[in-house]
Chains A and B, each alone.
Chain A
Amino acid sequence: MSLLEVRGITKRFGSLVALNAVDFSLTEGEILGIIGPNGAGKSTLFNLIAGLETPTAGAVSYRGRSITGLNADAVCRLGIAKTFQIPQLFPRLTVAENVLVAALYGRGRGLTESWREAREWLTFVGLADKAEKPAETLTVSERRRADLARVLGTGAPLILLDENMAGLNRREVEAAVGLLREVRARGRTLVVTEHIMRAIMGLADRVVVLNYGEKIAEGRPADVMRDTTVIKAYLGESYA
């Protein structure tokens, strides 16, 4: 059985169709890449799955259970958590408390266990030395890792990463890719949107390509990159 099923999902903002009847499914333990130019609908797709927005039409089910229209907190407790394209924090809580909140509420654990988990995930993403600092003092790359630690702290088996590597330099991207492989090795399933092609190519088992809210291709990364429709969407007619 697939872990996540997205069927005919559509989102309209007034007359703008952000997503038009997109289907895909996901199996446990997979890393799925979602790529597409700016405005293709990647973030909207994530927001719909995570319950931050409600779809105009279509359905999402998780482990065979419909989650369409559920609130974000309920979706998170069921097992789907997402990072934000612009990394979000609780600015005046400490970095450790940021992860603590996720462990307390996403996972529904007690205080002692949650503190332990918060520290474990901070060590995992390499922020253990910043644990007691206010979150607002973190740099962009640290914020992305703190956001990742928070999502891991919720205990959600399915993690949606919305351009979690944007704004990182080459070395940081390599480190981030390594970290995400390790996350998968710990039994989590990942859906990743990314602009950085190299990162996606080396990471994803399968990619879905979106363009103007429609799915234009799906398959193994290497095959998709040779697809003429995809090249047209990214680089324009003359390169296809």
Chain B
Amino acid sequence: MTRWIALLALGVLLLLPIGVGPYPIRVATVIFMWAALAGSWNLLAGYAGAVDLGPVVYHGIGAFVTAALMLKLGLPFLVSAGLAGVVAMVIAYAVGTPTLRLRGAYFAIGTLALAESAKQLALAWDRLTRIPLTGGSAGVSLPLSAGYVLFYYVMLVLMAAVTAAALWLRGSKFGYGLRAIAENDRLAEASGVNIHCLKRRVYVASACVIAVTGGTAGYWLSYINAADVFSASITFQMVVMTLLGGLGTPFGPVVGAAFLTLISEFLGTRFVYHYLIAIGVIIVAISLFAPGGLTSIFALVRRRTEATA
């Protein structure tokens, strides 16, 4: 049922650029971008129970590697973004091998510290290595982009891929292994689950999606700098959107991303100076009254209607 609705929605979204103007398409692209980022975070935190506070590392790596490949080697955008995903996977494998052995809060703190160091390293990269890559605090300008519809489709594909992965996890062997780890990692280990290997696979896969998304966002904006693309606020927005939508649910990040993006768009144009206060109040209210996220409200309503029917 949910899968058919999701496929139908995907079909509508594929045809959307034919029917509507540039502004709604740009807003939709922003939503897809956040849904892809939050969805990647959800795969590790929501399904394997590992709260990563440094996913922005791969966003930044994706942005700079994509930019470098396009500017220095003159590769086409899609090839560059794809290769950036591969670079992120290699780095994520190396980083994940030691850090994923940390548990609970230690993993969260470790990854947070890692992200901050990565930002400082990116800012100092050109000066330290004498290899121009990040442009220091001045950043890097990319070629002017090829129209907004390309970005719409790339972000849509990324969001759809992450959501499909989450749906697949629900009934698959791999998904059961991850849920076992999230529920009781020691027991999972004693039941034959190679917890380190499973977590690392998710970490590497989500790093890839985050990097491609970061590379696409960089090209879309046509200007990147280390302080922005490695900013912890990107991590926190991923976390907040996932929690608002529903942690560990396939559509939670999509709902959270759509909700937060639309409400910022709506309130931001009306209350330019105070809209962040209103958003803060809304986030607190949802956490208090629907701690399972917005998707838990849908599930509750569905159960109620089924009970009365």
Contacts and interface: CB of A to CB of B under 8 A. Distances in A.
Contact of B189 (A72, A90, A97): A72
A77 B177 CA distance: 14
Given A73-B192, A154-B192, A104 B186 contact: no
A88 interface: yes
B176 A106 contact: no
Contact of B187 (A88, A100, A111): A88
Contacts of A71: 189, 194
A73 B189 CA distance: 5
B179 A104 contact: no
Interface in B83-134: none
B299 to A, nearest CB: 15
A76 B186 contact: no
Contact of B184 (A52, A88, A110, A154): A88
Given A97-B176, A100-B176, A89 B187 contact: yes
B188 interface: yes
B172 interface: yes
Contacts of A76: 189-192
Interface string A65-93: 00000011110110001101000111111
Contact of A92 (B183, B188, B195): B183
Contacts of B180: 90, 93, 101, 105
Interface residues of A, number: 31
A150 interface: yes
A102 B176 contact: no
A114 B177 CA distance: 13
B189 A101 contact: no
Nearest to B193: A105
Interface in B157-199: 171-173, 176-177, 179-180, 183-184, 186-195
Given A73-B194, A91-B183, A104 B176 contact: yes
B186 A52 contact: yes
Contacts, number: 84
Interface residues of B, number: 19
A107 interface: yes
Contact of B190 (A81, A108, A114): A81
B187 to A, nearest CB: 4
Contacts of A89: 183-184, 187
B89 to A, nearest CB: 24
| Chain B interface SS verdict (over half) | helix
A87 B191 CA distance: 13
A114 B171 CA distance: 13
A91 to B, nearest CB: 6
Given A73-B195, A92-B183, A105 B177 contact: yes
B177 A90 contact: no
Q: Which among A52, A76, A114 has the greatest number of chain B C-beta atoms within 10 A?
A: A76
Q: Which among A72, A74, A76, A88 has the greatest number of chain B C-beta atoms within 10 A?
A: A72
A60 B269 CA distance: 69
Nearest to A76: B192
B190 A101 contact: no
A50 interface: yes
Contacts of A100: 176
A73 B177 CA distance: 12
Interface of B: 171-173, 176-177, 179-180, 183-184, 186-195
Given A73-B188, A88-B186, 5 more contacts: A90-B188, A101-B191, A105-B177, A106-B192, A108-B192
26 contacts: A52-B186, A52-B189, A73-B188, A73-B189, A73-B191, A76-B191, A84-B187, A90-B179, A90-B180, A90-B183, A90-B188, A93-B180, A97-B176, A97-B179, A101-B179, A101-B193, A102-B192, A104-B173, A104-B177, A105-B177, A105-B192, A107-B192, A110-B173, A111-B171, A111-B172, A154-B191
